[in-house]
Amino acid sequence: MFGRGRTQETATEPESPQQREGAKNRPTPKRRDQEAARKRPLVVSDRKEAKRLDRQKRREQMARTRRALETGEEAYLPPRDKGPRRRFIRDYVDARRNLAEFLLPVMLIVLAASIVPDPTVFAITVALTWLAVGAVLFDEYVLWRRIKAGLTERFDGPERGDFGYTALRTFQMRRQRMPKPQVARGEFPA
């Protein structure tokens, strides 16, 4: 009625004859189509099967983590133990004898001796307790200074949590440490 009528030329537009290098070369999908493709039911149809699969997946993950803690495989270690700085700390702690790992057996002996009603034995056990704690604190201080120097040399110095990780590792007996020690005693990291 008003204006020109449509011609046949405008109705049939040529499809992009050029394929550009590095371009997407396809139309952008509609948002509603993308959202529809992502939709999943909130409640699965078979709950028992979903629980069973979830339990199985969790069990496999835990087994993989346990294997990594025994072998030292970096990819599956828990986040607390991952990374080259934590490996350096573990290797350094495992390469030396630490007084802190013997503190628990000493405390058990002191506890057994403190049951004796003799005041002299009690005074000796209290003195032995404080002597053991002082020796462990001094040993921890010396160890941390050396680890701190090594971290500064290899990395950008110690980060938050490195001292706690070191102390936690030294207070565990060598056989019970996880991840398992990967170095022999006296074999300090290079």
Return the higher-pLDDT residue of 120 and 189.
120
Q: What is the pLDDT of residue 37?
A: 87
Query: pLDDT digits over 52-80, tens only?
Result: 989 999 999 999 999 988 888 888 888 88
* CA-to-CA separations, 34 to 31, 103, 180, in angstroms, rounded: 5, 61, 47
In the chain, what percentage of residues exceed pLDDT 70? 91
Q: What is the pLDDT of residue 20?
A: 81
ω into 179 cis (within 30 of 0): yes
What is the per-residue burial (b if ≥16 Cβ within 10 Å, else e) of 105-133? ebeeebeeeeeeeeeeeeeebeebbeebe
Return the higher-pLDDT residue of 17 and 100.
100
> Residue with structure tokens 């020796």?
135
Pseudo-torsion of CA 130, 103, 96, 164, nearest 10°?
A: -90
Residue type, 128: L
Residues 64, 76 contacting (CB under 8 angstroms): yes
Query: pLDDT digits over 130-158, tens only?
Result: 999 999 999 999 999 999 999 999 998 89
Return phi, psi of residue 34, to 5°. Answer: -65, -45
In the chain, what percentage of residues exceed pLDDT 90? 36
C-alpha 150/C-alpha 162 separation (Å) is 12
- Pick from 16, 7, 158: nearest CA to 92: 158
